[in-house]
Structure 1
Amino acid sequence: MKTYFWITLFLISCNITIAQSEDDNIRSSINKYLEGTSYNKPETIKEAFYDEANLFLTHKEKKLWIVPIQEYASWFEKREQGKFNGRTGKILSVDRENDIAMAKAEILIEGKDVRYIDVFLLKKIDGVWKIISKAATTKK
């Protein structure tokens, strides 16, 4: 009976460690996006995303503004690389099921009274968590 208890306890702890590791890898991918957009690092932004990912953004003149990741990352090429641009982001939640995940982040910009909420869909592709889609909205 003691052996069964110890084996069960070991297996449970292994599962917890693996789950934490997966969540850490998801957070790492989202943090690449947050760092890249806060410090004008287009390559770091692209590293977080699947190459063919689209972003679904808010635009005052469009119902739905779809921007490919390559175009989105290029917006940060025009700014001073590595310099903080006033964007501060934090991950609010992560929900994972097998090889897919959903995450939510908040973005605040210095000097603006606006709160952006980003929702990400991620997929584990070739052992790496990649953002396959992002939708964003603003709250004033």
Structure 2
Amino acid sequence: MLLKLNDGWKIIAKFINVKNYQTINDLQTKAKQGIAEVKETLQHYIEATAQGQPGRLIQAFHSDLNLYYVKNKQLTVIPGKRYIKNFQVGKQYARIGNVLAIDYENDAAVGKIQILMPKRNRIAIDYLFLLKINGRWKIIHKSFTTKVY
């Protein structure tokens, strides 16, 4: 419930729909399980790109995935299949990944990932959109930006 005060809207009460759960613990358990499932897919992506495991990338990515970023102030699109070909089986890549955030509801999720690339003095921030398709989380969209340090 929101209340408008002089300095803006304030949350004064939160409601949780628990009609499908026997206890609040059931709700918390389901939420933790969902986050763990999403994180597992994100870890496939992080580890596959660091350790040269294109098979794991195929497992994490939906076949129609594209990657989007801005280059020279213009939208640039890389097909996911082409991106996967950049990673040679068994080759170690200097990429250190970390999951910064996960948000999900039912069969849709978003993950924010930080990838440190020390050999390139670069940090990438990835925004990954996922859907749970046939019981498995798949990354369907990747938008990213990079910065030099």
Taking structure 1 as the reference length, the TM-score comes to 0.84
Correspondence list, 1:40-79, <5 A: 40-60=52-72, 63-77=74-88
Q: Offset of 1:112 from its aligned partner?
A: 2.7
Q: How many residue pairs end up in the alignment?
A: 128
Q: Hey, what's the Cα distance between the residues in 2 that align with 1:120 and 1:21? A: 19
Q: Hey, what's the Cα distance between the residues in 2 that align with 1:89 and 1:102? A: 16
Task: Give the stretch that moved more between structures: 113-122 or 10-19.
Answer: 10-19
Structure 1 partner of 2:125: 117
| Unaligned residue ranges in structure 1 (runs of 5+) | 1-8
Q: Offset of 1:124 from its aligned partner?
A: 0.7
Correspondence list, 1:79-118, <5 A: 81-118=89-126
Greater share of helix residues, 1 or 2?
1
| Unaligned residue ranges in structure 2 (runs of 5+) | 1-20
Paired AA for residue 18 in structure 1:
K
Q: Hey, what's the Cα distance between the residues in 1 that align with 2:91 and 2:22? A: 46
Q: Once superposed, what is the RMSD of the aligned Cα atoms?
A: 1.7
Q: List structure 1 runs of 4+ shifted beyond 6 angstroms.
A: none
Taking structure 2 as the reference length, the TM-score comes to 0.79
Q: Offset of 1:111 from its aligned partner?
A: 2.5
Give percent identity, aligned residues only.
34
Cα deviation 1:50-103 (Å, max 9, x = unaligned)? 11111113445x7122112111101113xxx33421100000000112211111
Indicate the structure whose relative CO is greater, using CA pairs within 8 Å and at least 6 residues apart: 1
Q: Hey, what's the Cα distance between the residues in 2 that align with 1:11 and 1:133? A: 35
